[in-house]
Amino acid sequence: MPELKTSYLGLNLRNPLVASASPFSKKVEEAKALEDAGIACLVMHSLFEEQINHESRALDFFLNQGTESFAEALTYFPEQDHYDVGPEKYLKLVGELKNTLTIPVIASLNGVSNGGWVDYSRRMQEAGADALELNIYFLSTDLKVTAADLEKAQVELVQQICGSVSIPVAVKLNPFYTSLPNFASGLVNAGAKGLVFFNRFYQPDLDIETLEVVPNLKLSTSDEIQLPLRWVAILYGKLQADLALSSGVHSGKDAVKAVMAGGQVAMMTSALLHDGAGYAAIVLKEFEAWMSAHEYSSVDQMRGALSQKGVANPAAYERANYLQVLTSFDNRMK
Ligand SMILES: Cc1cc2nc3c(=O)[nH]c(=O)nc-3n(C[C@H](O)[C@H](O)[C@H](O)COP(=O)(O)O)c2cc1C
């Protein structure tokens, strides 16, 4: 039997399959079902900065600048009473999950400003979280704000959070940075022990009958793995941090790809929401069967085999591949 054990953020995991932040953690019994199906680590749904500090700078920023031209869009920001999990309830839930589960529990904070809410990282640690994941979900709409300004503020935020806790901190990124490797390196220098590639931005749609901008949440498909695969493969072995792949892991073979690219772990949400917690067992079975069939004895042995450092043609991950891909399509049309 191949060895599935691995580690993430210094935590010992029985296998590399992690449940990424999702509503599963809102009910202890649903989280337990994930553990029973073989999931090795649970990332909780996020506690949002806006939930902690309703008057926070970030919320003002979003309300005043990000959405000013769409009065309807203000309805995306629910009133405090309508959030289903407030900070105290969240902290209590961390403790309940820790009491019930044997797998590590990672609490998740979602915010962008350096406000008082940052103290909650310490409170999550005190509540028993094994690690923290910080999701910096921010969309700049201001013509005057530069990428450098934003990146500096985000690195400072990570530094502040890493300085507040002794448990490891991972940062969940979005893919839209001009120089992702440089920014990733800044986050690691600021203290991040792990980087999660990627958070998905939920794109609003337009209802052309009601003339409204409508929120739109679709589950991912397996095709979406290609974007994080590329970045994990490029960054593998270049940073002093664990890389986690999130987006598009829907099968055991997808999890194999995540590890072969260089992922310390493969994270799943959409497939589990679609097929239920029990689906994790099927994914793990397929993962293990693939390892056996290809004579890999451990996950560590597989890791990074298809990273940019590991492949015979590293340019396949870069621009050089672009022309080749287009030419191969032209050839199909001949
Ligand atoms: C219903 C739903 C709720 C989510 N909630 C959170 C959250 O609270 N915090 C977070 O960082 N990501 C959240 N995510 C993003 C997932 O953790 C994950 O990164 C994303 O869905 C991509 O992975 P997937 O392709 O396996 O779904 C959520 C996703 C879905 C579909």
Q: Which numbered atom of ligand 1 lies nearest the CA of 271?
A: 26
The residue whose C-alpha atom lies closest to atom 17 belonging to ligand 1 is 21
Residue 282: the pLDDT is 98
The alpha carbon of 43 and the centre of ligand 1 are apart by a number of angstroms equal to: 10
Least confident of 141-145, 189-193, 258-262, 292-296: 141-145
The alpha carbon of 21 and the centre of ligand 1 are apart by a number of angstroms equal to: 5
Q: How far apart are CA 250 and CA 74, in angstroms?
A: 34
For 56, residues 6+ apart whose C-beta sits below 8 A from its C-beta are: 49, 50, 111, 113, 115, 117
pLDDT score of 133 more than 60: yes
Q: Is 250 in the pocket of ligand 1 (CB under 6 A)?
A: no
pTM of the model: 0.90
Residue 54: the pLDDT is 58
pLDDT in tens, 38-86: 999 999 999 988 888 654 444 444 444 444 443 444 444 444 444 445 7
Dig out the tokens for 4 from the structure: 């599935």
Residue 334: the pLDDT is 77
Q: How far apart are CA 20 and CA 39, in angstroms?
A: 10
Q: Which numbered atom of ligand 1 lies nearest the CA of 250?
A: 26
pLDDT score of 249 more than 90: yes
pLDDT in tens, 20-47: 999 999 999 999 999 999 999 999 999 9
Dig out the tokens for 325 from the structure: 């891909």
Crossing angle of helices 180-189/147-164, nearest 10°? 30
pLDDT in tens, 153-179: 999 999 999 999 999 999 999 999 999
How many angstroms from the chain centroid is the CA of residue 99? Answer: 24
Q: Is 168 in the pocket of ligand 1 (CB under 6 A)?
A: no
Mean pLDDT of 138-159: 92
Q: Is 249 in the pocket of ligand 1 (CB under 6 A)?
A: yes
- Comparing CA positions, the residue from 47, 197, 61 lying closest to residue 122 is 47
Q: Report the DSSP beta bridge partners of residue 107.
A: 132
Burial (Cβ within 10 Å: 0-12, 13-18, ≥19) of residue 107: buried
- Host H or E run for residue 289: helix 279-293
Crossing angle of helices 180-189/226-235, nearest 10°? 60
The alpha carbon of 219 and the centre of ligand 1 are apart by a number of angstroms equal to: 9
Q: Is 251 in the pocket of ligand 1 (CB under 6 A)?
A: no
pLDDT in tens, 193-233: 999 999 987 788 899 999 999 887 889 999 999 999 999 99
Residue 113: the pLDDT is 80
Q: Contact at 8 Å (CB) between 174 and 196?
A: no
The residue whose C-alpha atom lies closest to atom 30 belonging to ligand 1 is 22
Residues of the chain above pLDDT 90, percent: 72
The alpha carbon of 100 and the centre of ligand 1 are apart by a number of angstroms equal to: 23
The residue whose C-alpha atom lies closest to atom 3 belonging to ligand 1 is 22
Ligand 1 pocket test target in 25, 34, 200 with most atoms within 8 Å of CB: 200
The alpha carbon of 160 and the centre of ligand 1 are apart by a number of angstroms equal to: 24
Angle (CA) 98-47-276 rounded to 5° is 65
Q: Report the DSSP beta bridge partners of residue 244.
A: 196, 265
Q: Contact at 8 Å (CB) between 138 and 111?
A: no
* Mean pLDDT across the chain: 89
Q: How far apart are CA 207 and CA 297, in angstroms?
A: 52
Q: Which numbered atom of ligand 1 lies nearest the CA of 248?
A: 25
Q: Which numbered atom of ligand 1 lies nearest the CA of 172?
A: 11
Dig out the tokens for 10 from the structure: 């210094």
Q: Which numbered atom of ligand 1 lies nearest the CA of 48?
A: 8
pLDDT score of 264 more than 80: yes
